[in-house]
Structures are given as C-alpha cells and as structure tokens.
Amino acid sequence: MNQDNKKNVETDGSQYEEKVIYINRVAKVVKGGRRFSFSALVVAGDRNGRVGIGLGKANEVPEAIKKASKQAKKSMIRVPITAEAKTIPHDVIGKFCSGRVLLKPAVEGTGVIASATVRGILEAAGLQNVRTKTLRSRNPHNVVKATLDGLKQLRDFEQIASARGKQVAEIL
C-alpha cells in the first residue's frame, strides 16, 4: 500500500479503491500471557456511487486488512450522487448506536469537509462536495456505520418525484 493507506484493486473488471480507516490491537489474556491479534476497519468504493465497509480480524495486520476489504466489497451499497455538483441530493443525519453524522450537500468547489473517518467513505463513494459534522460519539466504528446509514437514507430526485406522483421539474 502507498503512504495514505489507499490501494486500487481490480476484480471482475471494475476498479475499487480501498482505504484503511482504523487498525486496533486486541489482547487476549491466557494462562501463558497475552495473545495479540488485530482488527482492521476498511472502506472500499468505486468512486462512482458504490461504497462498502468491512471489519476483519486476524493475527497479522495485512491478513486483517485483506479480510476486511473482502467483506467491504461484499457489502457495497449504491449512493445517489447529483451529476453536476458531485454532491448528495439532500441533508440527512445517519445514526448508529451513540454515533451521529450530519451530511449536507455543498456547492461546486467546496470539497469534502469532514473528519478523516467520514472523508474516507465519502471519497470512496465518489462524492466531491459535501459538508459533514460528527455528533456525539467519535468512535471510528460508530462513525463509519452512522455515515453508511446516512448514505442509505438518501434518495435521488427521481425516487422522490415518483413517490409523490409528480414530475422532477415540479419538486425542483
């Protein structure tokens, strides 16, 4: 991997970007002393509206990252992105346990204003102009899952218009 923990992986003809969000060393106390293992939290995305997260545990760090990235690719979700501004369609608050993440659309040229944990997910999804605020818990696991929950709640304008029985131009 290169210096910013990003890796491009080619599988099934499509390109995925992986980013290691958090690595934790876990100690299990046994009769002979401590046994150390590692857990890795990884985000994978195609920068085109698909993103997933994975958690892997193993005795070595590279093996944990490998397991986490495999799980992240299996758990991918589709994120609606507005074509012209590369942002989200509307405000949303994602929730998981005590973690809350506020996601707001931003105008072209704003960039991704977010913590390192949230930034990894949004960039892997292909979002370029989003403002965020992490509320309450700062635990990386809760923040990542709250961000993913917020992205799952998003609906594009076509879905909203069809649910209301209107045209897209009428709701804009």
- The 3 state secondary structure assigned to the chain is CCCCCEEEEEECCEEEEEEEEEEEEEEEEECCEEEEEEEEEEEEECCCCEEEEEEEEECCHHHHHHHHHHHHHHCCEECCCECCCCECCCCEEEEECCEEEEEEECCCCCCEECCHHHHHHHHHHCCCCEEEEEEECCCHHHHHHHHHHHHHHCCCHHHHHHHHCCCHHHHC
> Where in the chain is CATH 3.30.230.10?
79-164
Tell me which residues of the chain have a pLDDT lower than 50: 1-3, 11, 13
What pLDDT, on the 0 to 100 scale, is given for residue 8? 59
From-to residues of CATH 3.30.160.20 in the chain:
6-77
CATH class assigned to 6-77: alpha beta
pLDDT per residue over 128-146, tens digit each? 999 999 999 999 999 999 9
Per-residue pLDDT, 9: 54
pLDDT number for residue 4? 53
Q: What is the pLDDT of residue 91?
A: 94
pLDDT at 20: 95
* Yes or no: domain 79-164 corresponds to CATH 3.30.230.10: yes
